[in-house]
Chains A and B, each alone.
Chain A
């Protein structure tokens, strides 16, 4: 994707290093990057809402996905990029461990963990973006909603796929079963990221991966960064399994509301297909994810129980923060985007 614009000193130093063509300058740029990152991590008031640190992590992580235009792919595994990620991840994970509520742990097992996960999702009192979209959102807000969602939805399912080779047995089979459906079961037109791209095009938005990244706030990047962090660390395989379970459990009913919102605004099936598909798909996925993925994982690897519940709760917590930010802006009559003019396209 197009390299995201810098949001502060760390992301600026990262972009300067990645785009540097002068080998002699590299050591200095590297030292500056690490010094700035160390200082920013020490000084951040709230890393979940830190534009610079979430932006830098998102940019570094994108090397693991579609790459960055004009940036050498070798940077993905370069020790200095990995060290930057580790610096931010350490503080990011600690903030999540400190702030995400952890319910009393159930006994490891399919039925116990599935029941605990469903209970956690049912008790979630997060903001209802779906209800707002269904009943109140303006056409401009509906566009903003898609822009916010596009950061993840254009690579939908990818962060959880990292976990496939990190799992085995029942949990692996379950994750592959879910992901195969996410990727359209071999039919490109049914791949969920493709359906989302279609929805964007149909409402006049640009479906290029990363096109709107500069417009979304840190907390939206944090929802995506959290998934990538959980997915790309084998140590956190329990957390990514729990995350997927919670994500699927809070999907089918809201997606019906999203579809209703776009229908209310006059859009047809070409636009709502993505949401309608998720009502049915995620009613399947949530059962597989809760029982055969997360539940079976705790039965096979009981030491992962706490991380499974942590990952699920983290999903609800961080998505709740992102939803709160969205609704706070909208109810105040403001844009939820950093760059409001991004709606409808920018250069």
Chain B
């Protein structure tokens, strides 16, 4: 049931951080992580999974506030995740 048997640390264990690049949307970050200000202070986390702005328009940066939808933000087609192209 766990991924430990194949030598891969499980994201669910909190040992690794996963970042999902959501098409036309934010970066969804899960796991155990800290977000720091430029001077190194921790931005207090308000939830376990956060969405980070990548359209540049959010009024809650570094967090997403859904503004990418209002401005029609588009990302490049996602690269294949399972089978990297040779």
Contacts and interface: CB of A to CB of B under 8 A. Distances in A.
Interface of A: 111, 114-115, 118, 122, 177, 180-181, 185, 251-253, 256, 279-284, 286-288, 291
Nearest to B48: A185
A181 B23 CA distance: 23
A21 to B, nearest CB: 48
Looking at chain A's contact residues, is the secondary structure mostly helix, strand, loop, or mixed? helix
Among B28, B47, B66, the one with the most A-chain Cβ atoms within 10 Å of its Cβ is: B66
Interface in B27-86: 28, 46-51, 59-60, 63-67, 69-70, 78
A245 to B, nearest CB: 13
Looking at chain B's contact residues, is the secondary structure mostly helix, strand, loop, or mixed? loop
Contacts of B63: 280, 283
Contacts of A181: 47-49
B65 A284 contact: no
B3 interface: no
B6 to A, nearest CB: 19
B22 to A, nearest CB: 5
Contacts of B51: 280, 283-284, 287
Given A118-B69, A180-B48, A280-B46, 15 more contacts: A111-B23, A111-B78, A122-B69, A181-B47, A181-B49, A253-B69, A280-B47, A280-B64, A283-B26, A284-B47, A284-B64, A287-B22, A287-B25, A287-B26, A291-B22
Contact of B24 (A118, A282, A283): A118
Nearest to A114: B23
A279 B47 contact: no
A6 B41 CA distance: 57
Interface residues of B, number: 23
A253 B48 CA distance: 21
B48 A256 contact: no
A284 B60 contact: no
Contacts of A114: 23
Among B26, B28, B51, B78, the one with the most A-chain Cβ atoms within 10 Å of its Cβ is: B51
A281 B67 CA distance: 13
Contacts of A252: 65-66
Contact of A283 (B48, B66, B78): B66
A257 B62 CA distance: 20
10 contacts: A114-B23, A115-B23, A180-B48, A185-B48, A253-B65, A279-B65, A280-B63, A283-B51, A283-B64, A284-B49
Contacts of B28: 284, 287-288
A190 B76 CA distance: 36
Nearest to A173: B12
A286 B66 contact: yes
A247 to B, nearest CB: 13
A185 B47 contact: yes
Contacts of A185: 47-48
Contacts of A180: 48
Q: Across chains A and B, which 7 residue pairs bring their CB atoms closest together, nearest first? A: A252-B66, A283-B64, A283-B66, A284-B51, A287-B22, A279-B65, A253-B66
